[in-house]
Structure 1
Amino acid sequence: MELDEKIIGTHNGTFHCDEALAVYLLRLTKAYAGAGLKRTRDPATLDTCTIVVDVGGVYDEGKQRFDHHQRGFTEIFGNGFTTKLSSAGLVYKHFGQEIIANTISTTPEDPKVNTLWLKLYKEFIEAIDAIDNGISQYSADIASKYRIRTDVSARVGFLNPAWNESFDSQTVDGLFSEASALVGDEFVSRLKYYANAWLPARDLVAAGLKARTNVDPSGKIILFEQFAPWKEHLFELETDLSIAASEQPIYVLYPDETGGQWRIQAVPASPESFESRKALPEVWRGLRDEDLSKASGVDGCVFVHASGFIGGNKTKEGALKLAKLALTM
């Protein structure tokens, strides 16, 4: 080993998703890009490593030791998350913002880095932490109706040799490399999606929320000039901006995916709810085309769903008229 070569240490034998991801993530940092890897449980060998994850019984950032198995370990990600960390979560907590900045070619100080750091923990890392620490997704009194064994932790686990296959160190180390690439590539793919698609949609929703009084003085109608997923962002932004219930939007207008028509959609009562804050008027529900135009007095109508959660018009102006009328009914 050259004097300046960085070495990542982790345990040998059966591998798990958390250290497979931890090793991959470390190689996305400037300090450990191109670092070598030693898989061992020998303390003397681990002491020769630059950084150690998931083995060694020590959590000490200053010493670059990131294990979570020792008695008394209670570290969590914070920021509203309470799941105990695995080695993946530990590495992500300390290096995640740099990793995100490096991957999307910006600086750690860029505000969107923190947004993505929290989002990736919620949507990708936390489940790996929980599974590795044996934390059930459901309370004990709720019985699961079926099993899911296609999550990334399970797929990494299945890369280990079966009990009746060769378990020599060279074979297992090669499979560990496959596992690290599998979960690491999936992390990067998810990060790029959130950076390149999810975050721009959030910016669009934030802009529409800010400009809603220009659409209607009541502030109850948001208008988007292009289609984008908006529900998740709207609820999060309402919370972040402390928008009172009395000031929250009721209807959202947007062009459909083809751009040929416009939609008016009632905002759900909650993110997962099938109930609306204010469904479209009952007298419009289930009507289509001319029947709906006559009932509403608005030309160009296409439909209103039987439940009143969504409707359509041929033009933006028509959809806006429907929304303004619905507010008064």
Structure 2
Amino acid sequence: MSQICGISFCFSLLLIKVYSCGVDDLVHKKSENALVTVIEKFEQKAAAADKLDREGTKSQEEIYPYYDDMSVDANTIVDLLDDDPTNAYKFLEFGGIGTVINSQLAIFHLGLRTQLLNLTKKLFEMAPSTTNAMMPPNAVDKIVDIFEGDSDEGIKAKALDILYVWLPNNPRIQARVMKTKGLEPFYEQALKLDGTVVNILLDLFNKILEEHYYVRSQKKYSRTSDLNRLNIYKKIGLIERLSNPVTCNGLLNIFEATNSRWQSADVTLPVFKLLKKVNNHCFGVFKGNNKALQIFENFLKTLTEKESFFSEKGLNATEFRIMLKTYIEKLKIPRNDEL
């Protein structure tokens, strides 16, 4: 009797498992169908808006309702990804990057641009390797254009969030940014951003610098792929650019922004980390510069006043005090061309 009960119990568990798997499959299928439907709706509206724009028979105000609807669709896609993470891969598989994101990123419509940036960031978070492999290189041009040219600070921050996850350990995309844009968009925007976003910007620059120093410090590469990777980093020439007066003055703009707008320790922290990396590159440019001198004297004051905070964050306050004092002393010496 007990054996029969045992068999019956196991059979019941099997039925429950089969039923559960069947329900899960139905849920996934329903979610996938909803995703396909909303992508198709988005594409239809995008095609209609593009046709009207090309024909020139309607004003932008008359075309805007299409973009309003498309922004709602893009938000729905984000929700579907949140509801079912497998939809991230389905979206990529259905070619959503090309038809939904990249084809519309240049459209100047705040709602649509916001949702497309949200969707792009979500894809990098949920399926980073696949998204990176499928995202066309020219998409980064549009992301940097948005960061550089959009007047909305929130939009700039969203674009920077995407670059923060896309650029590190991605020399192919870094090389494209350096070739088409250079570093200028990044340090020119510093004064237009709030302290939190500047912190992210500096942290991104620190990450990429560390990456370049590490790759180029390796003495031996046994594989062809490693040598090719090293050559890409050499062609980017980020480390060489650090000694360029334009780059040094651009960094000084960021340091000035940190000084003048946000004298908080949490924003100054990534500045100190950056200073340690570039401290031998820009002395010749900064020497005799009164603005630079004042900035570094303020940094030393911040370090002294909030030393406990920096120590808690793992910063060697003594090391940085010595470094800043050295900066200050050297900056007081005029350049040769001013003698």
TM-score, structure 2 as length reference: 0.30
More strand, by proportion: 1
More helix, by proportion: 2
TM-score, structure 1 as length reference: 0.30
